[in-house]
Amino acid sequence: MYVDLGNALDAEPRLTREALERLDERVADAHDRIDRLRDEGAHGYASLNLPETVDPAAIRRAVARFDDPAAVLTVGIGGSALGAATLTEALGTDLDAYVLDNVDPTHVAALLDTLPLSDTVVHVVSRSGTTAETLSNFLVVREAMADAGVDWTERTLVTTGPSGNLRDLAARHDLPVLDVPAGSPGRFSVLSTVALPVAALAGHDIEALLDGARAEADRLTGSLFEAPAYAYGATCYALERRGAGVNAMMPYAESLESFAEWFAQLWAESLGKDAVGQTPARALGATDQHSQLQLYRAGPRDKLVTLVRPRERPDVSIPETDFDGLDYLGGGSLGDLLEAEFRATEASLAASDCPNVRIEVDRIDERGVGELLYGMEAACTLYGELAGVETFTQPAVEWSKRAARGLLGGGDVDADDAVPEKRRLVID
């Protein structure tokens, strides 16, 4: 992974090279702390060890019983789903990869109509084994398989924690089961048993994914001027402190759309605490030049734009044309056009003093994606240290989980969690 900070400096909000150099002393301290906590296997920090601690052979063994399926369906929510979507979308696949990460009945019904149930592997993922959305969806899918005469026990793979409903279910029906990694919250678990099984089923080189991550891990040192991941994390933090409350993640690759969503979860849930934290906005190049760019250039000066691009990609030629005024396109390629748009957008952001960072990988392949995902996790971990927040917890989402359970009659909910009468001012 390469990080270019050139356009992040001396824009608005203003961050100087000198300020980054001063910050680098704090980066050194933060790195020492991160390193120590990784060694101790502390909650969350252990995620940065995943490229070493995960066993790809065990993942390959667990999926080996599924012989060349037509489709794979991940049933999970949040970090238990976004990693799989990110990998299969980025790396492409001949197999149809679906994710069920919402409990919208319209969507679930439509998906069940589409899925080749007898030829689908279902990967159900829940650390606790009690996530209401995931288990409800799994019950619905399982029943649909049974109704279609498909033996669901032959088509189901489980990833879960050491105890709970899914662990029991796997034991009862002799399902292949993988352990969620210890000390790794969902949003930091893409490089593990949570998302790698689907990549393995889709024929991807999961060892190369881990190699890419390991290469990025090996580059973490006590200076942001040496470690690309830290360069990015420290710059985001420094810009947020100066007023860049929004971080627009804008990959120039359609296949990284889910990556931007994965990043949004990583950033929002890890850093949105104690009244600080950058708001991630998802964008996509070149499409969103015709949508968000106006705002980034001419709106409030509260934004950092993160541009991501592969240095190489396959290309498609544009046929010759007699279209008036468009002869400059004919004989070129879509890749040339996309590249020109990338450079023009980057320059136009710089010209309007909107800070932007360029992140590159050599190619969007297993190794490049491994570098990128690990790099963002390390960047987020550093940002959290610098901001002094608890990066690896998510206390503010617990309230509504308990409240939803209370509304459904799920008992043992404190009186505090009862949902109060809504204040209304209805215009209809």
**Footprint (CB under 8 A) of a copy of itself, residues 230-269:** 231, 245-246, 252-255, 261, 264-265, 268-269
Work out which of 44, 181, 186, 355 binds a copy of itself, going by CB under 8 A. Answer: 186
Distance CA 112, CA 95 (A): 17
Please tell me whether residue 95 binds a copy of itself under the rule CB under 8 A.
no
Of 339, 105, 374, 61, the C-alpha closest to 227 is 374
For residue 252, how many other CB atoms are within 10 A of its CB?
Answer: 23
Work out which of 228, 233, 368, 370 binds a copy of itself, going by CB under 8 A. Answer: 228
Residue 99 Cβ vs a copy of itself, minimum distance, rounded to whole Å: 10
If binding means CB under 8 A, how many residues of this protein chain bind a copy of itself? 148
| Interface positions, 63-82, toward a copy of itself (CB under 8 A) | 77-79, 81-82
Amino acid (1-letter code) at residue 260: A
H-type alpha helices, 359-397 = 366-387
Please tell me whether residue 16 binds a copy of itself under the rule CB under 8 A.
no
Residue 378 Cβ vs a copy of itself, minimum distance, rounded to whole Å: 13
Residue with tokens 């409240």: 403
Work out which of 18, 57, 68, 426 binds a copy of itself, going by CB under 8 A. Answer: 426
Residue 257 Cβ vs a copy of itself, minimum distance, rounded to whole Å: 10
Please tell me whether residue 110 binds a copy of itself under the rule CB under 8 A.
yes
Residue 354 Cβ vs a copy of itself, minimum distance, rounded to whole Å: 10
Asked if 369 and 90 touch (Cβ cutoff 8 Å), the reply is yes
Of 228, 282, 237, 236, the C-alpha closest to 82 is 282
Active site residue 269: yes
Max CA-CA distance within the chain? 72
Q: Nearer Cβ to a copy of itself, position 131 or 193?
A: 131
DSSP per-residue codes, 303-329: EEEEEEEES-----BPPP---TT-TTT
Please tell me whether residue 291 binds a copy of itself under the rule CB under 8 A.
yes
Tell me phi and psi for residue 204, to 5 degrees: -90, 160
Work out which of 68, 149, 414, 425 binds a copy of itself, going by CB under 8 A. Answer: 425
Q: Nearer Cβ to a copy of itself, position 59 or 289?
A: 289
Of 186, 191, 203, the C-alpha closest to 96 is 203
Of 313, 262, 253, the C-alpha closest to 284 is 253
Distance CA 284, CA 377 (A): 20
Beta bridge partners of 73: 98, 122
| Interface positions, 334-353, toward a copy of itself (CB under 8 A) | 334-338, 340-341, 343-348, 350-352
Q: Nearer Cβ to a copy of itself, position 57 or 415?
A: 415
Residue 15 Cβ vs a copy of itself, minimum distance, rounded to whole Å: 11
| Interface positions, 126-185, toward a copy of itself (CB under 8 A) | 130, 132-133, 135-137, 139-140, 142-143, 164-165, 168-169
- Taking the CA atoms of 221, 223, 227 and 232 in sequence, report the sign of the dihedral they define: positive
| Interface positions, 21-60, toward a copy of itself (CB under 8 A) | none
Please tell me whether residue 96 binds a copy of itself under the rule CB under 8 A.
no
Q: Nearer Cβ to a copy of itself, position 186 or 370?
A: 186
Catalytic residue among 89, 133, 216, 269, which? 269
Beta bridge partners of 247: 280, 304
Work out which of 123, 155, 303, 367 binds a copy of itself, going by CB under 8 A. Answer: 303
Work out which of 102, 116, 154, 182 binds a copy of itself, going by CB under 8 A. Answer: 102
Active site residue 290: yes
Asked if 340 and 288 touch (Cβ cutoff 8 Å), the reply is no
Q: Nearer Cβ to a copy of itself, position 148 or 407?
A: 407
Residue 364 Cβ vs a copy of itself, minimum distance, rounded to whole Å: 8
Please tell me whether residue 114 binds a copy of itself under the rule CB under 8 A.
no
| Interface positions, 355-414, toward a copy of itself (CB under 8 A) | 364, 394-397, 399-401, 403-411
Beta bridge partners of 246: 279, 303
H-type alpha helices, 148-218 = 165-173, 196-201, 206-217
SS3 call for 149 = coil
For residue 349, how many other CB atoms are within 10 A of its CB?
Answer: 23
Distance CA 263, CA 277 (A): 14
- How far lies 317's CA from each of 4, 46, 284, 320, 355, in Å? 29, 46, 22, 9, 33
Work out which of 40, 104, 151, 154 binds a copy of itself, going by CB under 8 A. Answer: 104
Catalytic residues: 269, 290, 401
